[in-house]
Amino acid sequence: MKGKLLWILGVAAAVTFSFGLAACNAGDEKGEAPDAAKADWTVERVFAQAKESGYTGTEQELGAMLAAHELADLGTENGGEHRAHVFPEWTVILAPACNSIGISFRQCTLCREAEWEFSPATSHSYGEPRVIKQPTCSEKGLALLTCANCGATFEQELKEGDHVFEAGWSYDVSSHFHRATCGHDEVSERTPHTFQGGLCTVCGMPSGTYLVPVAYTGIAMYFGENITPWEYLHNGVDFIAEVGAEVVATAAGVVTNLGGDMLIIAHANGVESHYRCIEIDPALKVGDSVLQGQKIGTVAAAPNYESDVPHLCFELTFDKQPEDPLPYLGIES
């Protein structure tokens, strides 16, 4: 009988120990029931924590989400018993997105005590920017980016672009380059000429192949000098020469204009030579091809509108822009 009693007491002690292991740990170290104010989870308290974590919705919106999961008001129902919490998997109330934090909860199946988890918002996922204002070399542009997840838009400023340059070559005495087409006084790819067969291999400018168009004894007026009484800058060079001295084409080309005492010949690569104050060869007409050194007229008699000394006014233009012809003729200014 004594042995049987000891067996019964041992079983009772084991059951009590097992219950103790399952006891809820919501109380303090003395086993007292937790403070209800600490255990309660109201919508207001959940909203306060969510807001601290970055939630941007309203308390009413959060309350509606909680109510959809039957969580309108959370507290404890442990009835004073202290048992271990039994939590299921987390339930997602609000999934994290690029414009919102995530909110998840899990609730003890024994006492309805709840735990909360607030996940940070994810990053926006922008696609390729859509340019709504192209940048120029003087103004910034604007592009619009749209998030593929939430549709949020973001404006991105585009830095000023580079100057826009012409495709063809322009050149001066020493080099060739591309002029800016955007209205700015800029050039690109300026490099020295490389000559072969009398022409630059890049831009086609003749190298020292322009002939002095007349046998001259001096220069009456240089390029860029002021002409009175009209007060404008001289676009050519006045070669002093005898009346009737032969005037020749400085290079091969086509006659594009003639009349009075003026004749114009177009050459390759946008170059033109102008001859003024001459008696034009009567056999020439617009459209005629002339060879380098071919006679096109003679020096006219003075006086004329620039000087009372007989001379040939000679001009060279490159893409309609006049330049000092002397360097092209191999004459020092």
Do 332 and 311 contact (CB within 8 A), yes or no?
Answer: no
Residue by residue, DSSP assigns 127-150 as: -S-EEEE---SSS-EEEEEEBTTT
Helices (H) and strands (E) in the chain, counts: 5, 26
For 182, residues 6+ apart whose C-beta sits below 8 A from its C-beta are 136, 137, 138, 163, 164
pLDDT at 286: 97
Domain boundaries, the chain: 21-119, 218-329
Tell me the residue type at 198.
G
Do 174 and 163 contact (CB within 8 A), yes or no?
Answer: no
pTM over 0.85: no
Do 329 and 281 contact (CB within 8 A), yes or no?
Answer: no
Which one, of 104, 155, 100, lies nearest residue 126 by Cα? 155
d(CA 81, CA 25): 10
Q: Which two tokens stand for residue 310?
A: 């007989």
**Can you give the pLDDT of all 333 residues of the chain as single tens digits?**
444 433 333 333 333 332 333 335 544 444 444 333 333 567 888 899 889 988 988 999 988 888 888 775 554 444 445 678 888 999 898 989 888 899 998 888 887 778 889 999 888 888 888 888 888 887 888 899 998 888 888 898 888 877 888 888 888 766 889 988 877 888 888 888 776 655 678 887 766 678 899 999 999 888 888 766 555 678 899 999 999 999 999 988 999 999 999 999 999 878 899 999 999 999 999 999 998 889 999 999 876 655 678 999 999 998 899 988 988 887 876
**Which residues lie across from 242 on neighbouring strands?**
none
218-329 under CATH 2.70.70.10, yes or no: yes
Do 314 and 325 contact (CB within 8 A), yes or no?
Answer: yes
Q: Which two tokens stand for residue 221?
A: 């007026």
